[in-house]
């Protein structure tokens, strides 16, 4: 595989494009809005500059990585002659199904179609295509350039050959691929999201405050980040979507999202992306913290 298309220039999409480009693949980054593509490229450049400052890459590495990325707003042009398409759009079933219907129509018959979904059934996505044997899950972790794990999820009809190719490709990217079966939430989110939901329930029930809950999990359980802060970084809307997928898929009340999470999402408090979630990430709050450092 030499030419890769990535659909979606958001947090996950630009991260996936970054790692492929840095490893020498020709990457077509596709989004419906040029502004989103520009923002995605700016994020990739910022992350490369951070790596450059740490001397983990050279200036030539940075230039080479950026030169490997081309942007497209037209799906058909973006996926033309690609070996693999990785879909990294929003975690919404209907959106993903439509994307895969469109991909099946415009991609070469040999092109492998992968989705970065964190919870939605690969089998269900594959069923809207005429190539279910070539549809597979590649669930990267955030931040993609740093995190080593890729969950590889094969649907009911995914072929052994495609699975083997994607496992090897993930290894070539410097990642550690782990094959899991196609059940709601897979492994990572089936374990992680109930923990985050329980942390939110603990806050909702008044057992402890936000910082106290996160401190207990960081210092008591050796987690690098508390569950409420992690939820902010994932996006509370994404957490809610994943919990709803698992709740619908398993019909088990233990996956029902906490009312506090539902209300925060309805209020637009989505975490880092909206500058407020369980913590305040606004510019005014940053200024307060900076000022406090010099007092």
* Domain annotation for the chain: domains and CATH numbers: 3-181 (3.40.50.720), 191-290 (1.10.1040.10)
Parallel/antiparallel/unpaired status of strands 3-7 and 135-140? unpaired
- What span, in angstroms and rounded, lies between the C-alpha atoms of 139 and 114? 9
- What span, in angstroms and rounded, lies between the C-alpha atoms of 287 and 85? 41
pLDDT at 89: 95
With a cut of 50, say whether residue 252 has pLDDT above it: yes
With a cut of 70, say whether residue 273 has pLDDT above it: yes
pLDDT at 268: 98
Q: Is 108 exposed, middle or buried (0-12, 13-18, 19+ CB in 10 A)?
A: exposed
User: Residues near 133 by Cβ (< 8 Å), separated by ≥ 6?
Assistant: 157, 158, 159, 162
Q: Where is 92: in which H helix or E strand?
A: none
Q: Is 31 exposed, middle or buried (0-12, 13-18, 19+ CB in 10 A)?
A: buried
Q: What is the pLDDT of residues 116-157, one digit of tens each?
A: 999 999 999 999 999 999 999 999 999 999 999 999 999 999
Spatial contact of 39 and 70, defined as CB atoms under 8 Å apart: no
With a cut of 80, say whether residue 101 has pLDDT above it: yes
Q: What is the pLDDT of residues 186-222, one digit of tens each?
A: 999 999 999 999 999 999 999 999 999 999 999 999 9
Which residues does the annotation place in the binding site for NAD(+)?
A: 8-13, 31, 91, 96, 118, 142, 273
pTM, entire model: 0.90
User: Which residues are known to be catalytic?
Assistant: 118, 139, 151, 189
Please, what is the average pLDDT of the chain?
95
Reported as a pLDDT band with limits 50, 70 and 90, residue 258 is very high
- What span, in angstroms and rounded, lies between the C-alpha atoms of 136 and 150? 12
Reported as a pLDDT band with limits 50, 70 and 90, residue 294 is very low
């Amino acid at each position: 595989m030499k030419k890769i298309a990535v659909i979606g220039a958001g947090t996950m999409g630009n991260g996936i494009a970054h790692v492929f480009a840095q490893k020498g693949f020709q990457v077509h980054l596709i989004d419906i809005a040029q502004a989103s593509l520009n923002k995605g490229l700016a994020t990739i450049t910022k992350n490369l500059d951070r790596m450059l400052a740490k001397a983990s890459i050279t200036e030539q590495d940075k230039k080479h990585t950026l030169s490997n990325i081309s942007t497209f707003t037209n799906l058909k042009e973006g996926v033309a002659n690609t070996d693999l398409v990785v879909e990294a759009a929003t975690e919404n079933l209907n959106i993903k199904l439509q994307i895969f219907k469109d991909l099946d129509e415009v991609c070469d018959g040999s092109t492998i179609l992968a989705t970065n979904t964190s919870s939605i059934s690969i089998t269900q996505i594959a069923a809207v295509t005429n190539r279910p044997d070539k549809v597979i899950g590649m669930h990267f972790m955030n931040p993609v350039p740093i995190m080593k794990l890729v969950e590889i999820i094969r649907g009911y009809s995914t072929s052994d050959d495609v699975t083997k190719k994607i496992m090897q490709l993930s290894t070539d990217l410097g990642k550690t691929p782990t094959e899991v079966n196609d059940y709601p939430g897979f492994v990572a989110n089936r374990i992680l999201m109930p923990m985050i939901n329980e942390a939110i329930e603990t806050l909702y029930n008044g057992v402890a405050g936000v910082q106290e809950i996160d401190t207990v999990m960081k210092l008591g359980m050796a987690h690098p980040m508390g569950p409420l802060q992690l939820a902010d970084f994932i996006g509370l809307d994404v957490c809610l979507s994943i919990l709803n997928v698992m709740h619908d898929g398993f019909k088990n009340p233990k996956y029902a999202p906490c009312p506090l999470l539902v209300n925060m999402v309805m209020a637009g408090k989505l975490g880092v992306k909206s500058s407020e979630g369980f913590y305040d990430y606004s510019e005014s709050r940053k200024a307060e913290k900076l000022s406090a450092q010099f007092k």
